[in-house]
Structure formats: C-alpha cells, structure tokens
Structure 1
Amino acid sequence: MINFFSYTCIFIGLIFWFWGTAHLVSDRSVLFKLHGLSVSDTLGSMLMIVGLLLKIPREWPLLLLGFICLAMWNTMLGYVLAYCSTPEDQND
C-alpha cells in the first residue's frame, strides 16, 4: 500500500513537471510562462520528494532538507524575477 502511494506521488509529480513545460509554447508573456513553470516544477518536485520519503523513510533528514531548500529557493527566485522585471523607477 505504501508503494502504491509512493509511486502515485512520483507519477503526479512527473505530470506537474510536463504540464508546466507544455505551457512554455503559449502566446503569453515570458513572466507568465516562468511563473507557471516554476510553480508546477516546485509542486512536482515536492510531490516526488514525498514519494521518495514514503519509499525510503530512513533517509528522512536528507529528504526533508531537500524539501525545505526547494521551497525556499523557488520562492526567493520568484521574488527576484518579479523585482528584476519591474521598471527602473519602481524599484526604489
């Protein structure tokens, strides 16, 4: 039963990865595309880490560290991209 949930989380994570990548060919702005890609990649990667945590629970410290780093890195990257995309006079 644990294997089923583990593989399900990993599979749904892969679906999130491909779903975010598929929207890169749309006619939207670059920032909209990057936002969708980063959100879907973050959710997909987190689901894969949860699936791995169910599969190999003895590695929970490393997987938890990866989970936290992934959440922090992608959140900070989103703020940096938003800051860099605003016009010069609004950054002050």
Structure 2
Amino acid sequence: MAISLIDFFSYACLSLGIFFWLWGTFPLLGNRSVLFKLHGLSVADTLGSMSMIVGLLLKIPSEWPLLLLAIICLAIWNTMLGYVLAYCSSRGGDDE
C-alpha cells in the first residue's frame, strides 16, 4: 500500500505538532523563572497547534476557511497573551 505525498506531509505536520507540544512541556520541570517557562510553553504550543492545523488542512482541504480562521486566532490569541503576561510581570505586584 503506497502512501500519497499529501498524506505523508499531513502526517509529518501532525507529528511535528505533537513534537512541539512535548518539547514545550519538558522545560516546565526546570529551575528557570515562571515567565520564562510560560514563554517557552506558549511558543511551542502555538507552533505545534499551527503545525497540526496545517496537517489537517492537507487532509481535509474542504474545511480551509475554518482551519485558516483557527490559525489566525491562535496567532492573535497567543501574541496578546504574551503581552498581558509581560505587562503583569513588569508591574512587580505593587498595588496602586
């Protein structure tokens, strides 16, 4: 049984996405600061999720509008979350 080129790239993207998810999770066990851990986790999760969505896009191209919307929402959400975390950490916990 031969696997098509599109199926190969789809499975490669899905596998890469799972790899990024796991790769972002392992540094949580380290001794770095919480914000460094969150940054690494959010970047790896974003790349992994986007890679998996691209893999799904190759498998089911008829759903491209929803999958493209998912990629855009992931990019915007994680960017804004990074800015919120940076703002909260720069305040240093002082109450005004």
TM-score normalised to structure 1 length: 0.94
Whether 1:26 aligns to 2:30 is: yes
- From 68, 81, 86, the equivalent of 1:82 is 86
Whether 1:40 aligns to 2:44 is: yes
Structure 2 stretches of 5 or more lacking a match? Answer: none
Aligned alpha-carbon RMSD (Å): 0.7
User: Post-superposition shift, 1:87?
Assistant: 2.6
Larger radius of gyration: 2
Measured in 2, the distance between the counterparts of 1:19 and 1:72 equals: 22
* Matching residue's letter, 1:30: V
* Matching residue's letter, 1:44: G
Secondary structure of the 1:86 match is helix
State the identity %: 74
Runs of 4+ in structure 1 over 6 Å off: none
Cα deviation, 1:65-90, whole Å, max 9, x if unaligned, reads 000000000000000000000135xx
Whether 1:58 aligns to 2:62 is: yes
Measured in 2, the distance between the counterparts of 1:61 and 1:24 equals: 34
TM-score normalised to structure 2 length: 0.90
Structure 1 stretches of 5 or more lacking a match? Answer: none
Q: Which residue of 2 aligns with 1:11?
A: 15
Whether 1:73 aligns to 2:91 is: no
User: Post-superposition shift, 1:12?
Assistant: 0.4
